[in-house]
Each structure stands twice: as structure tokens, then as C-alpha cells.
Chains A and B, each alone.
Chain A
């Protein structure tokens, strides 16, 4: 991992399209601003993890699981 030291107002460039600026730093918390292409997905890591886990859970349910749910589960839907 590359580790850099930056002060408030200073920035980091990633390639020629992404700029990350330290907006505020205090009390163990930093605010950063990110400039980049509007179409570039930028997510908090915990949200990315939540989405990835949801995707993995939705992938490839067991064969016949849906058929079983359609025959048994629907009966139990009020």
C-alpha cells in the first residue's frame, strides 16, 4: 500500500482524471473531496461490501430452490 502524508487543502492525483483533496482533518476524522469522471463509481467501502455480499447471496441459488419456493412458499403467503 502506498502511504502519503497530506495536510488540509493538499491533494493527491491518481492518473490524470482523479484528484483527491483533504478538506478537513480533526479528531481522528478526515473529510475528503474527490474529483473525477462523473460516471466513475465512488462508494464508501462499507456500502461496497454490503452490495458485494448481497450480489454473492443472490448468485446461483440451489437447483430447484425457486421451484420449491414457488410450490411451497407461495402457499404460505397470506
Chain B
């Protein structure tokens, strides 16, 4: 399918690039279908782009870049996904004041199950998670867990000069 996102323009989302939100996200209960998009030059960040309301996109990064570690959730805590299969990404807020640090949404990490193409937001009580130590990028393949890479949409596709020069996209091999 092709979406026309205000942030990216036209993006081709192949079937294996689709993600389903298993339980509604608080504040965005009507949204179920998403794509994970990584923009050239923006590693280790990725975008969780809504396929239903295209102005909606969340900036994500792995918790480790903020010094966050999460315990393995019980399956029931992640709405029946396999807790052991969780690849966590956290939403990131960019502060309006550039002197303030990036803020991870540490109480609501997203558990991605790459095998099922589903994700869910795990909500933790404040006492169950450590406080972010600030943004410190760690090394790693594109900055994202390798299990997620086959389902990651790259934009623009390899070989294009810049995001502004091409509206097309492809999924990692």
C-alpha cells in the first residue's frame, strides 16, 4: 500500500512492513495500523507512522539510548504477546527549548513482537522503571534491535541522495 504522510510524502509500505497495535494507545484509541520508518541520517531514531491518520507519527528509539532497561513482562502484561519476544522502543519527545534534553516516555514502552507484526504499549507503575540517564546513543545495527530490521521501512530507499529528493521507500532486505 502507498501512504501519503505529511512528513515523508508518498511512502510504499509492503505487507511485511505493517504493524498492528494490539491494544489501543491511550489518546489514540482509533488507530490500529502503523509502519516503522527509519529516515536516512536519523539513526538511532525511527518513526511509528499511523497508516490511518497520516499526520500522526511518533518518534521512537531503543530504551538503551536513554539508559533505560525494562524487565521481561508477563505475557498478560503485554496483552497476550509473548513477553520474551518483546523488542522495546520508547516514544521520544523533542523539547521546544533546545537546551532541554530529549524526553523518553519511560512509563509506556512499546513492546514489538516482530514474529507477529504486532505491538502494544506496556504501562508500568513509576516504581517499576529506572529514570532515564539522558540521551547517550549506543552502538548497534541502525540503532535498532536486529529482530525489527526485516520489518523496518527505509526512507528514502538506498541510493537516493536525500529524503527531500525522493518520495519512495523500501523495506530492508
Contact = CB atoms under 8 A, between A and B. Distances in A.
B135 A77 contact: yes
Contacts, number: 82
Nearest to B24: A41
Interface string A6-37: 00000000000000000000000000000000
Interface residues of A, number: 30
A51 B108 contact: yes
A59 B26 contact: no
A54 B121 CA distance: 12
B57 interface: yes
A68 B98 CA distance: 9
B55 interface: yes
Contacts of B98: 68-69, 72-73, 76
A50 B91 CA distance: 14
Contact of B23 (A41, A48, A65, A67): A41
A58 interface: yes
A57 B91 CA distance: 9
Given A39-B79, A69-B98, A70-B42, A50 B107 contact: yes
A52 B27 contact: yes
Interface of A: 38-39, 41, 43, 47-48, 50-63, 65-70, 72-73, 76-77
